[in-house]
Each structure stands twice: as structure tokens, then as C-alpha cells.
Amino acid sequence: MYFIDIAYAKAVAETAETVEETGLMASLGLDGRLFIFQLINFAIVAIILWFLVLKPLVKKLAERQKLIDGGLDNAKKAQEQMERSEVDYRAKISEAKKEAQTILEKTKKDAKTLSENLKIKAKQEIENLAEQAKKNILKEKDEMMIGLKGETANLIIAALEKILKEKMTGEKDKKFVEEALKSLK
């Protein structure tokens, strides 16, 4: 075992010398020049990606976010406007219903007044017609009475002539008719 320890110690010593000669990067298995070139390549690719892809992409995403935010604001404004419009609509409907009710009540009142006026007018016309009919009846009655008195007077004269067998003179006739008419009343 001693031999293995010596070989191991020798290998460790050689490795330590190599590490000191080539440096820490070589011990990790990295080549310093190759690493620097790869780092420069990475930086160039990162810059190209930043300016050609990421920066326009970020700009487009910002514009898109701004557009979405504007759309949401417009949607909120439209929603608020719609709510205000609905409130106005309901208020106008309520006002229209009140006006309709007022007009309906006024119309009923006017119809009732008109109906009462028409009834009163019809009643007056009926009363006027009844009064006119009464006047006509009284007039006809008076005319009939005059006619009846004249006929009655003629009948009385005719009857008296037959009874008395003498013709009465105008003066006697007149006096007799007047007395007969007075007794008829």
C-alpha cells in the first residue's frame, strides 16, 4: 500500500504543478482564449437579440397593453353611459306614465262634465218641448173651445128656432147666445 500512496502523492503533485502552470481555468477544463471568444459571441448575440427581437417585442407588448387598457377604459365608460341612459330611460318612462295618468284623469273629468252638460241641455230641450207642447195643446184647446162655442151657439139657435118657431132677430139672437155662453162657463 505504501507504493500506491507514493503513486497517488506523485499524481497529486503533478496535478498541482499543472494547475499552477495552466491556471485555475485549465483545471476546470476550460480554455481561456476559447472562453473569451465564446463570451464575446454571446454578448454580440445578446445585443443583436436585444435590438432586433426583444426591444421591438417589448415595444409591441407595451402598445398592445396600452390598447387593451384603452379598450377597458372605453368599455367602462360605455357601461357607465349605458347605466346613465337606463336611469334616464326609466325616469322618462315614469314621467310619461304620470303624464298619461294625468291626461286620462283630465279626459275622464272632461267627459263627465260634457256628459252632465249634455244631460242638462237634453233636459232643457225636453222641458222646452214639453212647454211648447203644453202651449200648443192650450192653444188648440182654446181654438176648439171657440169653435165648440160657435157650434154650440148655432145648435142652440137652431134648437130654439124649432122650439119657438119664430125666427129670432139679430139682436135677440145675440143676447140669447151671450146668455147661453155665460151659463156654459
Give residue 41's pLDDT: 93
pLDDT in tens, 26-40: 666 667 778 788 899
Counting beta carbons within 10 angstroms of the beta carbon of residue 30, is it exposed (0 to 12), middle (13 to 18) or buried (19 or more)?
middle
**Which of the two residues, 118 and 154, has the higher pLDDT score?**
118
User: Is residue 19 a contact partner of residue 26, using CB atoms and an 8 Å limit?
Assistant: yes
Q: Which region holds residue 17: left if phi is over 0, alpha if psi is between -120 and 50, else beta?
A: alpha
pLDDT in tens, 143-153: 888 888 778 77
Give percent of the chain with pLDDT exceeding 90: 44
Beta strands in 26-139 (DSSP E): none
Does 20 have pLDDT greater than 60? no
Q: What is the b/e burial string over 153-170, where b = at least 16 CB atoms within 10 angstroms of the residue's CB?
A: beebbeebeeeeeeeeee
Average pLDDT, the chain: 82
Question: Cell numbers at residue 182, please?
Answer: 155665460
Give residue 21's pLDDT: 47
pLDDT in tens, 59-107: 999 999 999 999 999 999 999 999 999 999 999 999 999 999 999 999 9
What mean pLDDT is predicted for residues 109-138? 91
Average the pLDDT over each of 24-38, 48-62, 112-126, 138-152 and give the range with the smallest value: 24-38
